[in-house]
Every structure is written in structure tokens, then in C-alpha cells.
């Protein structure tokens, strides 16, 4: 998963980074609101951790901006020194999904992040998932289409296809896709990703006639659209 954290306290950001990394996720750190807001229109994240008191823009306004900009609902954890009940209520009413008073309780932070990711649809994948004609056998890393195994799919193509199906309808940025499949320090160009996605689209026939369409959104990334049931005459 790709998690963004914004806080003007470097020590707090370092704590978040360590916890997120220990969970096996990628963490992107921002020390002020404007730095995060600049990337929001072109980048996507699976969860946000937002401090209330920032040097340039209040955390509440950052949450509103995330809600206005995000293409799909994304979990937000507000983490702050404010512990008054009125502040907690205001933070939750503003759009935060959870509220945590800053502390060194690493276990609590990890538990809250895990709960938010589960709530956001990012629970660990089961052994098998099915979308219409497509059956993903997760442990075997195999895709079956209409019951037949798709033997030409490479490992990375499987990862990309599975990621897109699990994020159905959500626009994922190119950087998001690269980090999720190759890792945060991967030296993979945007052009190379486009080639991989072209193979995924072709091999899985992710076009209108299949009921699922893989769409490239210029200067942003990719979205997999569920077009609904396909008439029998068009299914093959």
C-alpha cells in the first residue's frame, strides 16, 4: 500500500515511516501542506495521516482538499496533540476516518492503520477472487478466463492485473502502480509501465466487450471500469 503522512515534526514523521515500513507499505512524507497538495492532482495514495497544526495550512483544510481531490474514498487518520473531545468531534466531522492523539505507542498506530486499510478495502487477499469471467488464484499466481488458464501472463502482469481488479473503478497513478508492483526505489519508466499495461489489456481482453475496460487517463494513470453484464452474443 502507498501511505502519505504530513507533519511538521521530523521525529514524528520518522516514527510513522518506521511503523509503515514495518507493515510492508511504502510511506511518502511531507513536512507542509502545500508540498502534499501539489502532488494530489496527479498522485494517488491508499491512506493519509494528517497532523492538525501545520505551518502553512490547517490540517482540517488539508482533509477537505483530499476529499475534494481524491477520485475515490480514501481512509484518513488525523494524528495530533489535540486531545479535547470537541477537537476530536470536529476532526471526525471534517472528514477524518479516525483520530489519534500523538504518542510513542507504536502498537496503537499500527493497529489503527491496519483497521483503516481493512475498512478501505485493503485487507489481505484471500486465496481466490472472482470478477465475472476472471478468476484469480492468488497463491498460484494464475488467472483463469472462462475457466481456461491464461498461460501467457507474466508475474508482473499478474500483479498489475490483480491490483487493477482489486481497485475497480479507482484511478491509480503511474507512480502508485510502479511502487506497488516493483517497489518504491524501482527504476521503471512511465513508458515501460505503459507497455506492461498494454500487455495486460490485450492478454485479458480488458475492453468493452469483456465487461471490464482498462482505461488510460492522460497524464495520470489507469482505471479499470466495470461495465456490467455482457450480452451473451458479445461474450465470446
DSSP secondary structure letter of residue 97: S
pTM more than 0.85: no
Structural domains for the chain? 2-119 (3.40.50.2300), 128-234 (1.10.10.10)
Describe the strand order of the beta sheet including 221-226 as a list of residue ranges: 172-173, 221-226, 212-217
Q: How far apart are CA 3 and CA 26, in angstroms?
A: 6
Whether the pLDDT of residue 9 is over 70: the answer is yes
Rg of the chain over CA atoms, in angstroms?
Answer: 19
Mean pLDDT of 20-30: 92
- Percentage above 70 pLDDT, the chain: 92
Q: Is the dihedral of CA 173, 174, 177, 178 positive or negative?
A: negative
Q: Report phi then psi at 145, rounded to 5.
A: -115, 120
CA dihedral (188, 191, 197, 203) in degrees, to 10, reads -110
pLDDT value for 138: 86
Whether the pLDDT of residue 232 is over 70: the answer is no
pLDDT digits (tens, 9 = 90+) for 131-163: 989 999 988 889 999 999 998 999 999 999 999
Least confidently predicted of 9-23, 51-65, 67-81, 115-129:
115-129
pLDDT digits (tens, 9 = 90+) for 36-81: 999 988 888 999 999 999 999 999 999 999 988 865 678 999 998 8
Amino acid at each position: 500500500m502507498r501511505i502519505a503522512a504530513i507533519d511538521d515534526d521530523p521525529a514524528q514523521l520518522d516514527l510513522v515511516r518506521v511503523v509503515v515500513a514495518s507493515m510492508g507499505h511504502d510511506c511518502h512524507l511531507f513536512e507542509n501542506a502545500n508540498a502534499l497538495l501539489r502532488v494530489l492532482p496527479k498522485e494517488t495514495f491508499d491512506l493519509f495521516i494528517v497532523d492538525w497544526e501545520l505551518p502553512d495550512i490547517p490540517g482540517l483544510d488539508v482533509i477537505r482538499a483530499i476529499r475534494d481531490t481524491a477520485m475515490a474514498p480514501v481512509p484518513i487518520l488525523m494524528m495530533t496533540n489535540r486531545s479535547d473531545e470537541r477537537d476530536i468531534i470536529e476532526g471526525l466531522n471534517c472528514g477524518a476516518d479516525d483520530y489519534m492523539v500523538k504518542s510513542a505507542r507504536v502498537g496503537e498506530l499500527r493497529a489503527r492503520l491496519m483497521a483503516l486499510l481493512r475498512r478501505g478495502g485493503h485487507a489481505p487477499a484471500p486465496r481466490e477472487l472472482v470478477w465475472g469471467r476472471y478468476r484469480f488464484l492468488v497463491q498460484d499466481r494464475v488467472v483463469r478466463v472462462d475457466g481456461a488458464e491464461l498461460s501467457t501472463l507474466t508475474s508482473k502482469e499478474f500483479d498489475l492485473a490483480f491490483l487493477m481488479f482489486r481497485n475497480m473503478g479507482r484511478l491509480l497513478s503511474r507512480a502508485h502502480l510502479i511502487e506497488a508492483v516493483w517497489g518504491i526505489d524501482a527504476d521503471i519508466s512511465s513508458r515501460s509501465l505503459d507497455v506492461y499495461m498494454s500487455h495486460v489489456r490485450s492478454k485479458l481482453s480488458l475492453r468493452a466487450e469483456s465487461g471490464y475496460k482498462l482505461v488510460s487517463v492522460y497524464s495520470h494513470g489507469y482505471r479499470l471500469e466495470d461495465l456490467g453484464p455482457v450480452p451473451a452474443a458479445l461474450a465470446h
